[in-house]
């Protein structure tokens, strides 16, 4: 480390990582809520039509018990 660099205290780094993690969780839950509110079951949406076979959002209710053996 050079003289001009400042070191971030460990406690502050922990708070920054916690805050970033909480923001990611909140955004994840909001997007899940939005999909459930607007998209019917067993449908798919391609946000970018030219990427259709490779990138699409699908809402399928398989249930965890029946999904895990397929993995």
When pLDDT is averaged across residues 44-55 and rounded to a whole number, the result is 87
pLDDT, mean over the chain: 81
Task: Please give the pLDDT value at position 60.
Answer: 81
Per residue in 29-49, pLDDT (tens digit) is 998 888 888 888 888 888 888
Q: Are the CB atoms for 60 and 42 separated by under 8 Å?
A: yes
Instruction: Tell me the CA distances in angstroms from 40 to 6, 20, 28, 32, one per residue in order.
Output: 51, 31, 19, 13
| 49 or 8, higher pLDDT | 49
Instruction: Tell me the CA distances in angstroms from 69 to 5, 30, 40, 42, 66, one per residue in order.
Output: 51, 28, 25, 20, 6
Which pTM value belongs to this model?
0.59
């Amino acid at each position: 480390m050079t003289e001009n660099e400042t070191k971030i205290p460990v406690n502050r780094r922990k708070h920054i990582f916690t805050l970033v993690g909480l923001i990611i969780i909140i955004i994840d839950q909001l997007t899940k809520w939005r999909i459930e509110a607007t998209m019917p079951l067993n449908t798919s949406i391609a946000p970018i039509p030219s990427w259709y076979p490779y990138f699409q959002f699908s809402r399928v209710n398989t249930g965890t018990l029946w999904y895990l053996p397929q993995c």
